[in-house]
Amino acid sequence: MIIISPMEKVTLNDKTFRKFIPYEKLETAIDEVAAQINKDFEGCTDVPILLCVLNGSIMFMAELMKRLTFNCQIVSTKLTSYVGTETTGKVKQAMGLTADITGRRVIVVEDIVDSGNTIVELKRILAEKGAADSRICTLLLKPDSYKKDVKIDYTAMEIPNDFIVGFGLDYDELGRNFKDIYILDE
**Catalytic center residues:** 114
As a whole number of angstroms, the distance between CA 101 and CA 105 comes to 8
Burial of 45 (0-12, 13-18, 19+ CB in 10 A): exposed
Q: Residue type for 71, please? A: N
As a whole number of angstroms, the distance between CA 50 and CA 36 comes to 15
Beta bridge partners of 76: 52
As a whole number of angstroms, the distance between CA 73 and CA 78 comes to 17
- The β-bridge relationship of strands 49-54 and 133-141 is unpaired
In three-state secondary structure terms, 100 is coil
Among 90, 79, 53, 87, which residue's Cα sits nearest to residue 163?
Answer: 87
Q: Any idea what the Cα angle at residue 169 is, between residues 17 and 119, rounded to 5°?
A: 135
